[in-house]
Amino acid sequence: MKSTINKLLTLFAASVTLAGCYKTELNYPGGVVSPYIAIYDVRNLYKGAPLTLDQNKLGGSAKIACVVVSDHRAGNLPQGLLIVQNKPRLDFLRGLAVSIGDAAGNYLPGDSLVIDLVGSRMERVDGILQVTNITTDKIEKVDSGKPVPVSRVNIDQILANPGDYESTLLAIVKGGFLYEPQPGQVLEGEQQVTDGFGVLDVVTASESSLAGLPQYKMANYYGIIFSKEEEGQLIPYHKLRSEDDLVELTSVYKTPRIIISGWINDPAGTDANYEYIQFLATEDIDFSETPFSVVTTNNANAAAPTGFPVNGWATGQVRTYKFNITSGRAEKGTFFYVGGTRKMINGPNSTSIADANWVTAHPYNTQDGHDFGSATTNLLANSGNAYGVAVFEGTTVTRESIPEDVMFAATGGSLVGNGYGYRICNNDYYDIINPLSATLVEQPFYRSGTNLSAMAHNTPANVGFFNIFGGEFDLRLGRWTKARSQHARLLTKESALEEIEDPEMVTQLVD
């Protein structure tokens, strides 16, 4: 035993020595530091106080290779600031303002530059992080007309991390106002714009040629993010560069009569006949006169038929299951429910919510769906693969039917391809026409084009999360002024109906 231990100790010592040798040999001289540094790293040098940039601070580098995104011809950007960006570091896109006076107007979007930063100064001026004390002889123009990809960023992300987006070119998609713009209203001044995820100021200088641009009901706002400081906090704002940066959206975003407001896909205990979906009516509905239907989709790996859903929401078998709503009523602003016949809040032996407004309750574990869908113990997947709910006007659903409203959770499974998929509608999460496309590119399915958003899959399994989708829909404007967000409320067997109709969390209607 002692001999074995001694051999092991000897082997360990040899391995440590060998590792030390490798470490020594790997630290060989001759490595050359790149002359270029990412803007991401340059911005991280700033710690709240002005500093002079030298090669030591720049880690041995001296220059940034970047592309111009500023355009001063319309007179709407901060004077004297050349705005550039790059993303060679971990693919993190970052921008930087370079103060060079009137010469900033000599550069156009797509100009490829190399800028020598040695000897310059980095500081916040008027709230904007800038490189100052730099002359044009430090700037080399390498090329022009380079394409500049535009990132789509939700306003809540900009508000949460203004420094990450400052001095970058981005697009605010489906931006609108908190009121109905009237003919003659223009962008001049500070206008609050919402994309459903937050509210941001779009600032247009009175002396700019853009001041007279109209206020559209819905538009894309391309441009550059800047910051101002208020009480020690960075407050981001957006500036257009040219008339082309404002693109009116004319796709139809109609007011849905029914909104998907929540669901429980994995109650505690068995799912068989205990899953249900919550809906919110935006107007008074008598379902005997105006019938609707609800279709669920389960894309667990074993769900048949496998492969892409050839018939979309009407695929049937285990992939999609249909409920018809042909009786009952729902008053404007009230919730109603569709699901299994057990009508319990969180699986077997939990609180009965039979007194809620159940417009359809069907024993999906023992009976096939209305028109399609095989009897199943699990309407909505628990595997982490995608599942979703769509509500349709009428009781006829085909591969071409467009939902009144639709929501998905998770992303896995065979969802879209070869011209097949689950059709979406224009709502807070999805767009039938790519809103960033200048050529009206169609993207009719979930996971096609920009239709990538989804609610999260809840873990752990089998405990009873009810997903409350809280947002704000303005009935006057006919649009989401606050996109739905997910509140995964963990229910108990004793939970009451009030917990899933919590007025602090549920979707609100604004008249």
- CA–CA separation, 28 and 184 (whole Å): 70
Q: Are 491 and 345 in contact (CB under 8 A)?
A: yes
CB-facing half-sphere around the CA of 93: CA atoms within 13 A: 17
Q: Are 67 and 146 in contact (CB under 8 A)?
A: yes
- For residue 31, the model assigns a pLDDT of 61
Task: Give the C-alpha distances (Å, rounded to integers) separating 220 from 80, 112, 400, 484.
Answer: 26, 26, 28, 20
Closest to 223 measured CA to CA, from 243, 211, 238, 204: 238
- CA–CA separation, 445 and 124 (whole Å): 45
Token pair, residue 480, equals 């989401």
- For residue 19, the model assigns a pLDDT of 34
| 3-state SS, residue 9 | helix
- CA–CA separation, 294 and 278 (whole Å): 11
Question: What is the reported pTM?
Answer: 0.83
- CA–CA separation, 37 and 89 (whole Å): 8
User: What does pLDDT average to in each consecutive run of 10 residues of the chain (511 residues)?
Assistant: 39 35 36 88 96 96 97 98 91 95 98 98 97 96 93 95 97 94 96 96 98 96 97 95 94 89 97 98 98 96 92 97 98 98 98 98 98 97 94 98 98 95 96 84 95 95 97 93 96 98 96 90
Closest to 236 measured CA to CA, from 200, 190, 205: 200
Residues contacting 256, CB < 8 A, separation 6+: 282, 391, 404, 405, 425, 427
Please count the other Cβ atoms lying within 10 Å of the Cβ belonging to residue 368: 16
Sequence letter at residue 441: V
Residues contacting 267, CB < 8 A, separation 6+: 274, 275, 344, 346, 347, 350, 464, 491
- Omega within 30 of 0 (cis) for the link into 309: no
- For residue 254, the model assigns a pLDDT of 86
Full set of structural domains in the chain with CATH:
39-143 (2.40.50), 151-248 (2.40.50.140), 251-511 (2.60.40.1260)
- For residue 440, the model assigns a pLDDT of 76
| 3-state SS, residue 22 | helix
Closest to 321 measured CA to CA, from 273, 384, 262: 273
Token pair, residue 320, equals 């999609």
DSSP string for residues in 83-120:
EEEE--STT--EEEEEE-GGGGGG--TT-EEEEE-TT-
Closest to 299 measured CA to CA, from 315, 322, 276: 315
Please count the other Cβ atoms lying within 10 Å of the Cβ belonging to residue 177: 21
Token pair, residue 445, equals 């399915």
Closest to 140 measured CA to CA, from 281, 2, 35, 255: 35
Token pair, residue 449, equals 């084009």
The 8-class DSSP code of residue 19 comes to: H
Report phi then psi at 7, rounded to 5. Answer: -65, -40
Token pair, residue 290, equals 């105006």
